[in-house]
Amino acid sequence: MSQNSQHSLAPLLRKLGSWQELDERDAAAVLALPFVIRDLPASQFVVWEQERAQHCCVLLSGFAYRHKEAGGGRRQMMSIHMKGDCLDLQNSLLGSADHNVQMLSAGRVAVIPVQAIRDIAFGHPNVGMAMWCETLVEGSIFREWILNIGQRDAITRIAHLLCEFAVRLECAELGKHTNFALPITQDQLAEAVSLTPVHVNRMLRSLDSAGLIVRTRRNITIPDWHALAKVGDFHPHYLHVNQDRENTVTVKSLVHPA
């Protein structure tokens, strides 16, 4: 296992293992996946809309995001990705991309041929189930974003996004959920929560002066998690982080009383 953790694809194995119990053989098969490593600079595109995708990228380090453009040229971000996430299962399996994926920060990805993904998914049912779960949970997060953007006011939206990011970060073992570096600008935050950059700034400032977050540079500290979660109407259930499996965060402690 200590050997596994050194492997380039270890983050993928870790993530898949969080959705579904994998045995020795499953793990070996995941690590035996053919891949090519690529280092990408910040803001590099990983997938283009309408592109015919033949590969699936796994994010090994850094952050990335999905986005799409509406008619008037207005952009909407639809998800943020971090270590261990598959960046384009959808695009590669469906054949053509319906959105863009771009690096948020510089980072490293493993590029895996689609066919290898298909093969492992059906050759190793546990791995297949884990991948399926990955796409299902992504769907769940999309639904929560629809709710967030559709029904919550500006401050709540932003607080919610911060909470979600914090929990996911901790799940990916990238830091504490109470203190972390936000890898996005306020303009990008605005695209994520469907607000104006100007308004995002004001709300952030408002969360700050209310003592709900402390900002230094691009660093966020959350002095009182439950208070922020309450303001953000945040209930981590939709993230489906497994509460039983050992190597994952105990999300129960993050649930704020209704």
Partner DNA sequence: CGCTCGTTTGATATATTTCAAGAATTGTGG
Partner DNA sequence: CCACAATTCTTGAAATATATCAAACGAGCG
Residue 215 interacting partner from a copy of itself, DNA, none (CB closer than 5 to 8 Å by kind): DNA
User: Which tokens sit at 200?
Assistant: 């995002």
Q: Give the integer Cα–Cα distance in Å for 62 and 109.
A: 9
Nearer to DNA, 7 or 75 (CB): 75
Report residue 36: phi and psi, to 5°.
-130, 135
72: Cα separation from own chain's centroid: 27
* CB-nearer residue toward a copy of itself: 23 or 39: 23
Beta bridge pairs of residue 38: 109
Decide: is 194 part of the binding site for DNA (CB under 7 A): yes
Question: What SS3 class is residue 1?
Answer: coil
Closer to a copy of itself by Cβ: residue 141 or 182: 141
Nearer residue to a copy of itself within complex by CB, 10 or 242: 242
The residue (of 180 and 242) whose beta carbon lies closer to a copy of itself is 242
| Shortest distance in whole angstroms from residue 38 CB to a copy of itself | 24
Q: Is residue 233 at the binding interface for DNA, with CB under 7 A as the rule?
A: no
Nearer to a copy of itself, 48 or 238 (CB): 238
Size of the site for DNA (CB under 7 A): 19
Which helix H or strand E contains 38, and what residues bound it?
strand 36-40
Sites of contact with a copy of itself (CB under 8 A):
50, 66, 68, 70-72, 74-76, 78, 89-90, 93-96, 98-99, 118, 121-122, 125, 128-129, 132-133, 135-140, 142-152, 156, 194, 233, 237-238, 240
Which amino acid appears at position 114 of this protein? V
- Which of the listed partners (a copy of itself, DNA, none) does 125 bind, with a CB threshold of 5 to 8 Å by partner kind? a copy of itself
CA angle 86, 89, 85 (to 5 degrees): 10
Which whole-number Å values give the CA distances from 42 to 49, 63, 65, 118, in the listed order? 18, 9, 11, 30
What is the closest distance, in whole angstroms, from the C-beta atom of residue 96 to a copy of itself in the complex? 8
Q: How far is the CB of 86 from a copy of itself (least distance, A)?
A: 11
Q: Tell me the C-alpha distance between 5 and 9, whole Å.
A: 8
**CB 202 → DNA: shortest distance, Å?**
6
Q: Which of residues 199-228 bind DNA (CB under 7 A)?
A: 199, 201-202, 204-205, 215, 217-218
Supply the minimum distance, in Å, between the C-beta of residue 57 and a copy of itself: 16
Contact (Cβ atoms closer than 8 angstroms) between residue 84 and residue 58: yes
Q: What is the largest CA-CA distance in the chain?
A: 54
216 vs 145: CA distance, rounded Å: 27
